[in-house]
Amino acid sequence: MPEPKIEIVRGGPMLVDGLPLGRLRHEGDVWRVERIETPSRTYALCRCGASSEMPLCDRTAPYACFDEQPPTGPEPAPYRWDVPDPTGPPALALKPDGPVRVAGFARITYGDRELSPRDRVSLCRCGESRCQPLCDSSHKVVGYRG
């Protein structure tokens, strides 16, 4: 099986290969992952919030979904979220009205750079983070829903 990877297209979607899509659900004091079916093992996640097929992107290459500015803020400290299955395979889950949470050292590229491997990371999906492609909680300020 190929290595799970995420390619983040500047001004476009996250192209995901080999990571099942899930949605985080808060139940009491724990987070659970609810599986979301995708057409195949490869899919594109919307990062602009304008897709008619949320959370999937409804556009095609070259995308040009939004005018993404170069990062201006510092890289945020890794967010230590509780992975529902820390010993399981790499996983991807959407936080309600928030970022894409990735666990398990999946390979992540953004433009011409590769992010340093991490056991868990939060990726921006509102398009407003000042430290793209990482989440800096801008979704809370802009009122992102998705």
Top-confidence residue, 129 or 14: 14
Q: Is the pLDDT of residue 44 over 90?
A: yes
% of residues, the chain, pLDDT over 70: 86
* Residue 75 reports pLDDT greater than 70: no
- 25 pLDDT above the threshold of 90: no
Global model pTM greater than 0.95: no
pLDDT at 77: 60
Q: In this model, does residue 79 exceed pLDDT 60?
A: no
Task: Dig out the tokens for 89 from the structure.
Answer: 């395979």
Neighbours of 95 (CB within 10 A): 19
Strands 120-123 and 100-103: antiparallel
pLDDT reading at 40 higher than 60: yes
- 11-40 as b/e: b if 16+ CB within 10 A: bbbbbbbbbbbbebeeeeeebebeeeebee
Query: Are β-strands 91-94 and 21-27 bridged in parallel, bridged antiparallel, or unpaired?
Result: parallel
The pLDDT, as a whole number, for residue 146 is 79
